[in-house]
Amino acid sequence: MNEQREQEAASIAAGEAQVATLLRLAGKAPALSEDELRPAREAAREVWRGQVRRRTARRRQVWAAGTLAAGVVAAIAVTWWVSKPVAPAAPITVASLELRTGGVTVEPSPATTATSGAAPALLAGTVLTSGPDGRAALRLAGGASVRLDGGSRVRIASPVSLALERGALYVDSGALPGGIEIETPLGRVTDLGTQFEVRLAPAGASALQLRLRVREGEVRVDTGRATHRAEAGSELLLAADGSAHRAAVAADDPAWQWAARAAPAPDIDGRTLAFFLDRETRELGLRWRLVEPRPEQSPGDVVLHGSVAGLTPEEAIEVVLTGSGLRSERTGGELLVSVAPR
């Protein structure tokens, strides 16, 4: 407002100066009294005030138009940014389906793979359901091997976490750092580099119980009310009421056979006999030992060729050892390997 008043005063003063100049150019005129000059001066002052107001209004209109145009541009930019399509995130592969036998459904269907013969890829949120005769083997992206028993249902949440809704899972996480997590209706199961089984079994008309068997390493179960630990060679049975019971289970107990038979066959072509025996005896919960070594050749020097696809670990061991001129005998928790008689 002060600036506007100063502009009006300056304009009026300039106008009065111009009038004075015109009067001088016109020459002398009869002198007028102050009363006679006052109306003329007031009329001139009002004219100049009107002109100043019009110029100020025009400047305001120009400024407002500029501001409006800038707002329109900003609105267009915001609208474009909001409406700009966002590319959907690429699906995350969390596991691969290595083996599926009997009745097993996968939802959604496994993603196709670019490499012919490669295991189908499974995405986060995939649900696997097995019928009474169905079994499946998965390889999580984190590296753990997971087996699904008959009559089971599991959801894969991430490369290191699953949710077991019914049935049983067998996990071989080996020496992976951090292990994996399995959510169940009765608690969260976490491990650190182990072999173990988690099974949900009916405990009556409507109740459930959780059975945890540990073959190697250590596993923890957090029920929300208590935390339980189970070590290698032990079985932990948790009831819905929170009660816990423990028992012993050997690494080569027949109860583990379903998991070994659900394991995918190893690729032995170009591998050594020692590698093959290490892998297959681990699936059976055994240790192997060469009782009659060959002076000229050790299992670490024997290179295998061919395939054992479609064979159980027991069958594969028999076939490979026979082809290598060896035989085996199972005693307790050991597999004794010796030279076959000629």
Q: Which fold has domain 94-256?
A: Jelly Rolls (2.60.120)
More confident residue, 92 or 181: 181
Closest CA to 17 of 52, 54, 37, 44: 44
Q: How many CB atoms lie within 10 A of CB 264?
A: 17
Tokens 């945890």 sit on residue: 212
Q: Letter for the amino acid at 92?
A: I
Q: Please tell me the pTM assigned to this model.
A: 0.71
Q: What is the mean pLDDT of the chain?
A: 81
Q: Is the pLDDT of residue 88 over 80?
A: no
More confident residue, 9 or 312: 312
Residue 108, preceding bond cis, omega within 30 degrees?
A: yes
pLDDT-derived band at 192, boundaries 50, 70, 90: confident
Rg from Cα positions in the chain: 44
Read off the pLDDT of each residue in 96-115 and give the average, rounded to a whole number: 83
Residue 301, pLDDT score: 87
Q: How many CB atoms lie within 10 A of CB 53?
A: 12
Backbone phi, then psi, for 226, in 5-degree steps?
A: -155, 160
Q: Is the pLDDT of residue 81 over 60?
A: no
Read off the pLDDT of each residue in 49-64 and give the average, rounded to a whole number: 56
Q: Is the pLDDT of residue 112 over 90?
A: no
Residue 118, pLDDT score: 73
pLDDT-derived band at 342, boundaries 50, 70, 90: confident
Residue 4, pLDDT score: 55
Q: Which of 15-29, 108-122, 178-192 has the lowest mean pLDDT?
A: 15-29
Q: Per residue in 195-237, pLDDT tens?
A: 999 999 887 666 899 999 999 999 999 999 999 999 999 999 9
Q: Is the pLDDT of residue 339 over 80?
A: yes
DSSP state of 71: H
pLDDT-derived band at 23, boundaries 50, 70, 90: very low
pLDDT-derived band at 22, boundaries 50, 70, 90: very low
Residue 57, pLDDT score: 56
- Going from N- to C-terminal start, the domains of the chain cover 2-83, 94-256, 265-339
Q: Letter for the amino acid at 35?
A: D
Calculate helix-pair angle for 34-83, 2-26, nearest 10 degrees: 140
- C-alpha 289: how far from its chain's center? 42
Q: Is the pLDDT of residue 69 over 50?
A: no
How many residues belong to the chain?
342
Q: Which fold has domain 265-339?
A: Phage tail protein beta-alpha-beta fold (3.55.50)
Q: Per residue in 305-322, pLDDT tens?
A: 999 999 999 999 999 999
Residue 218, pLDDT score: 93
Residue 203, pLDDT score: 75
